[in-house]
């Protein structure tokens, strides 16, 4: 019963819960808006301050999307990792609608502040840059994904920072480069000061740890072949890398400009292992506490 797609009434009730008791206007933040009927299945409110009307979705990426009765089925497809064509067939909509809904839903999922504690493993992974969908290219197009022209790391690769603690809470972020100055603010916001940071032999982690005043234990894999030292290893974060790469590979190539959205999808539906439609819709509607969609605990 819990796994069954929600009805239209349940979806509308869930969306209406976004309006708090203060009835704060999204345009001017004035409280005390009054109800002025219904429109498109949702209550419409009128602000006493600016006089503008709004509903539960005003100002969100879900605004003006139709067919709300299909959103629960579409959320179920997100949870199961449907392709654009698969989600379109599940919901009985056009492929263009399915594509638009996917990116609107993922854009509505916002990352909150999370904190990794205890033993925290951090490592970067790389994906090939993609201009998928671009009308004009400054290079020859690659066929079937292709490979980088240069061996090793280059500007053709996009770095993704992945950090996870032993409870399974995971942090990811797309990086413009892999320098200490770029990585430091992300580690500062994601890791508790008393955590123990475990990394590989990358040269940019030690200065970050010193600047943040956190304990750091590097495992020198390249020089000494050290993969484990007592309780210290990188198995958790490496498993995150593998699941992320497998997820992206199944999408048949992800445009770099949409990579942030697909990371949100990875945290929302892939790490929790097939969530029911209701938690997905709750995250998309902004009802899940900030940080939960992008920091799923116990998702090993």
The Cα–Cα gap between 170 and 296 comes to 7
Residue 294, pLDDT score: 36
Q: For residue range 207-220, what is the model confidence (pLDDT) as tens digits?
A: 999 999 999 999 87
The closest of 178, 134, 132 to 154, measured between CA atoms, is: 178
Contacts of 293 (CB under 8 A, 6+ apart): 109, 110, 111, 264, 267, 268, 283
**pLDDT surpasses 50 at 292:** no
The pLDDT of 41-53, averaged and rounded, is 92
Q: What is the pLDDT of residue 90?
A: 93
Give the number of other Cβ atoms within 10 Å of residue 18's Cβ: 17
Per-residue confidence (pLDDT) for residue 269, from 0 to 100: 78
- CA dist list (Å): 132 to 44, 97, 145: 39, 19, 9
**Dihedral (CA of 30, 31, 36, 37) sign:** positive
Spatial CA neighbour of 260 closest among 165, 167, 168, 158: 158
pTM of the model: 0.78
Tell me which residue of 290, 258, 277, 267 sits closest to 110, measured CA to CA: 290
Confidence of residue 86 (pLDDT cuts 50, 70, 90): very high
Contact 55, 35 (CB under 8 A): no
Terminal-residue alpha carbon distance, the chain: 25
Q: Give the sign of the dihedral formed by CA 190, CA 194, CA 199, CA 205.
A: positive
Give alpha helix (H) positions in the chain.
8-16, 71-79, 84-91, 95-108, 180-190, 205-212, 221-224, 235-250, 259-265, 277-284
Each residue's pLDDT tens digit, 221-237: 665 667 888 889 999 99
Of the candidates 237, 287, 299, the residue with the CA atom closest to the CA atom of residue 109: 287
Asked if the model's pLDDT at residue 300 lies above 50, the reply is no
């Amino acid at each position: 019963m819990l796994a069954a797609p929600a009805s239209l009434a349940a979806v509308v009730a869930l969306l209406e819960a976004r309006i708090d008791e203060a009835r704060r206007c999204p345009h001017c933040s004035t409280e005390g808006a009054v109800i002025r009927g219904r429109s498109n299945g949702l209550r419409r409110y009128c602000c006493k301050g600016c006089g503008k009307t709004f509903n539960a979705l005003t100002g969100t990426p879900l605004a003006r999307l139709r067919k709300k009765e299909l959103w629960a089925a579409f959320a179920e497809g997100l949870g199961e990792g449907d392709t654009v064509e698969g989600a379109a067939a599940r919901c009985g909509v056009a492929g263009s609608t399915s594509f638009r809904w996917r990116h609107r839903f993922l854009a509505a999922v916002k990352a909150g502040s999370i904190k990794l504690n205890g033993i925290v493993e951090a490592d970067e992974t790389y994906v090939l840059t993609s201009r998928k969908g671009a009308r004009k290219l400054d290079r020859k197009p690659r066929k079937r994904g292709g490979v980088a022209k240069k061996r090793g790391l280059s500007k053709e690769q996009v770095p993704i920072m992945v950090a996870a603690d032993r409870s399974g809470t995971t942090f990811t972020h797309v990086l413009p480069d892999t320098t200490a100055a770029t990585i430091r603010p992300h580690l500062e916001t994601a890791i508790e000061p008393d955590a123990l940071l475990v990394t590989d032999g990358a040269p940019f982690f030690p200065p970050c740890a010193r600047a943040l005043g956190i304990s750091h234990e590097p495992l020198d894999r390249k020089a000494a072949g050290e993969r484990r030292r007592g309780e210290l290893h990188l198995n958790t974060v490496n498993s995150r890398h593998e699941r992320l790469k497998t997820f992206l590979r199944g999408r048949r190539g992800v445009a770099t400009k949409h990579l942030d959205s697909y990371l949100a999808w990875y945290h929302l539906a892939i790490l929790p292992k097939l969530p029911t439609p209701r938690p997905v819709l709750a995250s998309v509607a902004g009802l899940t506490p900030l940080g939960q969609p992008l920091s799923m605990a116990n998702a090993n």
